[in-house]
Structure 1
Amino acid sequence: MSKKILVIPSWYPNAGNELGGSFFREQAQLLNDNGFDIKILFGIEKELKLFKYLKIKLKSVLKRNGVNRNYLMQDPEAYSFYIYHYKKWPKKWKLKKSKQSYQAAFKTITAHWKPELIHAQCSANAGIYSHALSTSNNIPFVITEHQTFILNYYNKKVQKGIKEAIENASKIGAVSYHQQRSILMNSMDCNPEIIWNLMDENKFKINANQANSKFTIVTITYSQLIKDTETFFKSLEAFQTISKDDFESIIIGNAAFNNGSKANSTYFEALAKKYNVLDKCKFYPQLSRTEINSKLQTCDVFVSTSIAETYGVAVREAMLCGKPVIATKSGGVEDSITAETGMLVNIKDAEAIAQSLLKIKNKQPVFNPKNIRSYIIKQSGRAAFIKTMTDFYN
């Protein structure tokens, strides 16, 4: 009989944003099709002003909303419910209300299906809620940590909840050695296992027939400083001065990570203009996974300029397409970049990125696309991921 796993994600693809947390869904979907019985439970937390909060509270007395399958992307079964907070409540009250709401939703979806294990995707705040469910229902729980682990970023009550969750979980997974080190540097009494994120080789392919006439550089980013997009445009300016031939750069991303309707490229266009490379750039605020695949297949190199990467999904997607990568020494990406798969440079070193671009353009060295792709499949492809998670869940 398939082992029953309830996944509590910290975010998840939904009707308003199909890309956010898509890798959580893809992982759950693969496991659900390969020996596990997976369901998703996700609370949508909203902070309201007093009048609106009281109005919704009155409605909830008259008619309970409960859980539903209308908001989250399905396959596997995914249930959502709303958690309303009065915005001026202290964090302690909000956490208590959220834990109570998760318990009520848990009772609803487990009336005829009881999980054997709860899996929190990220400690904040899924780990906190999974710990509460575990305690109330006597079910073990595990956590996989994906987010940049800077504990003092959070409210003191949340910090306490994260620490208690991590130190009481049956197992802790970290998506890279950098992430493992980050967790332990925060004085957590645990022993994180390395759990590479799934890189689905069926979704990204090498296509030798697709190529651009110009040397083409791709990056996938967003506007937060941790991505250090300014260094990317600085490197294009530097590359422009040493490259004899024309080139183009494709910038995929926007400044509206959680709201696709507001996606635009204004921030990146301003940087491109500042560094005199606007005519070399094409901007795509939002693309589907299929469209991203197409852009990766037609480029010559992928560049990542992040300050910190817990894992580096976009980097490895490019590698699944057989593309060499130039990346800053930002943590998680370093676990997959070798002399055979790409080049590593120091953080904020735009000149080193430009020189690396020139070497790849001049085919010095020559990278083998099949070897790059095989490296990622062996590390975290479908079969490797299923085996890793089977061990993690046992």
Structure 2
Amino acid sequence: MKILTIPSWYPTEDNKISGVFFKEQVEALKENGVEGIILYIHFISLKQLFTTKLKVGFTSSIENGIKVYRYNTFNIFPKMYGLFFKYYSYLINKYFNIVSQKEGKFDLVHIHSAIYGAIAYNMSNINTPYIVTEHSTAFSMNEINDSVKKYLYGAFNNAEEVIVVGKGLLNDISKYRDKDSLKLIPNMLTLSEQYVEKDKNKTKFRFFSLGMLYNKKGMDVLIEAFNKNKDVFTDAELYIGGDGEEREKLEALINKYDLKDKILILGSLSREEVAFNMSNCDVFALASRFETFGIVFLEAIAFGKPIIGTKTGGPDTIVNDVCGKIVEVDDVDGLAEAMLNVYKDISKYDPKQIKDYCKNNFSKDVVANKIIDVYRSVIKNQG
């Protein structure tokens, strides 16, 4: 089967990690027999007019064995959603036809996120059927402009199937499409087995957290919860990976509780540094206020580590009794109790059992085959 993927965001020279999960999914699907091609319409903010490395225009390239077609353009209609969607749908129509002439007929179009790719595709009047996988935290964070909401009904309901990556999105998207028609397929983990050097300086029980230091990641809650247990955590420490606008606030909180010798903010980490910290921690904990999925939890359980997350609709798609605990959002006492329980009962978490749970439910082959089943069903129904 031949599938055209249209991501609403995707890696660029300016941002090489944006939409990297979409890229890795297409690569995993190729490994499982799907011919995947990507068409990405990238809108550059006018604020980046003199700073962007990107050139306006249409290009094609082979990236990790995948044919990628790109059209870069400036967003000349910021916040003018009606005009923006007309322009976007015109571009999708134009470049869909160009790509189809080069590559042949597509069986199906797979769009990642209704905002804004599926909206524009739905308006383009292209006859090739499409499905949507929704990832965006904008739904749970109530960040969708009222002018955009009216377009979402058509984008979701005219799709042959709608996939969501977390339990929370089932409820969020049910405002636009019948919940019983939605499919839950989690994000996949593409990390492979790797040897990671042991931290020779580690002498304490270590909690590790990772995320941009923004309010929505709840690092302040994690610090507050650790402080609740500081009299018990005499041989415990908390490492926090990431950087962002809340760093000074978090450092002030650490100083307030006199925890400088127990809590360390590591700053931004490379993939190798993330692997090192995942491998050498005892527990991974993240107290997000919003999280549609949470790939970092998968990275942790891939290393056999127990995890602690919040009921945001994402982590509770992953966490169960085998691999950790889940608590309410902003519940400092509940998080403190969960951290204490895992600290005291760490021996009950079997690293091999946790790794097997990860492999059997979130490995790229398992998830890819679930997506392929959706493709086959839609294509069969189309005759």
Q: TM-score, normalised by structure 1?
A: 0.84
Flag structure 1 segments of 5+ consecutive residues without an equivalent.
54-63, 257-263
Structure 1 residues 184-235: Cα deviation after superposition (integer angstroms, max 9, x where no partner): 1x142461111111123x4355869667322111111223333222101111
Query: How far 1:65 sits from its partner (Å)?
Result: 4.8
CA distance in structure 1 between the aligned counterparts of 2:349 and 2:157, rounded to whole angstroms = 43
Match of 2:134 in 1: 145
Query: How far 1:304 sits from its partner (Å)?
Result: 1.4
* Cα separation, partners in 2 of 1:335 and 1:94, compared to 1, 3 Å: closer
Match of 1:19 in 2: 17
Aligned residues: 367
Contact 1:205 1:320 survives alignment (8 Å): no
CA distance in structure 1 between the aligned counterparts of 2:196 and 2:353, rounded to whole angstroms = 14
Moved more, 285-294 or 157-166: 285-294
Structure 1 residues 64-118: Cα deviation after superposition (integer angstroms, max 9, x where no partner): 9531247x96542222222323356722111111221222222332222132211
For 1:115-134, list aligned pairs within 5 A: 115-133=106-124
Q: 1:165 aligns with which of 155, 165, 189?
A: 155
Contact 1:38 1:76 survives alignment (8 Å): yes
Structure 1 residues 223-273: Cα deviation after superposition (integer angstroms, max 9, x where no partner): 33332221011112222232222x3322122227xxxxxxx9445434433
The letter of the residue matching 1:214 is K
Q: 1:94 aligns with which of 76, 84, 104?
A: 84
Moved more, 95-104 or 347-356: 347-356
Residue 6 of structure 1: SS of its match in structure 2? strand
Match of 2:343 in 1: 361
The letter of the residue matching 1:68 is T
The letter of the residue matching 1:252 is G
CA distance in structure 2 between the aligned counterparts of 1:233 and 1:282, rounded to whole angstroms = 10
Flag structure 2 segments of 5+ consecutive residues without an equivalent.
377-383
CA distance in structure 1 between the aligned counterparts of 2:325 and 2:366, rounded to whole angstroms = 25
Contact 2:56 2:73 survives alignment (8 Å): no
The letter of the residue matching 1:45 is F
The letter of the residue matching 2:291 is E
CA distance in structure 2 between the aligned counterparts of 1:122 and 1:22, rounded to whole angstroms = 14
Q: 2:188 aligns with which of 195, 198, 203?
A: 198
Matched, 1:315 2:277: no
Match of 1:297 in 2: 279
Q: 1:80 aligns with which of 48, 70, 79?
A: 70
* Cα separation, partners in 2 of 1:147 and 1:300, compared to 1, 3 Å: same
Residue 223 of structure 2: SS of its match in structure 1? helix
Query: How far 1:342 sits from its partner (Å)?
Result: 0.6
Contact 1:324 1:372 survives alignment (8 Å): yes
Match of 1:46 in 2: 44
CA distance in structure 2 between the aligned counterparts of 1:169 and 1:37, rounded to whole angstroms = 21
Match of 1:252 in 2: 241
Percent pairwise identity: 26
Contact 1:204 1:293 survives alignment (8 Å): no
Q: CA RMSD in A?
A: 2.7
Structure 1 residues 347-367: Cα deviation after superposition (integer angstroms, max 9, x where no partner): 222233233333333335521
For 1:258-337, list aligned pairs within 5 A: 265-337=247-319
CA distance in structure 1 between the aligned counterparts of 2:22 and 2:56, rounded to whole angstroms = 25
The letter of the residue matching 2:271 is R
The letter of the residue matching 1:144 is T
Query: How far 1:159 sits from its partner (Å)?
Result: 1.2
Residue 278 of structure 1: SS of its match in structure 2? coil
Match of 1:34 in 2: 32
Matched, 1:385 2:375: no
Match of 2:379 in 1: none
Contact 1:205 1:297 survives alignment (8 Å): no
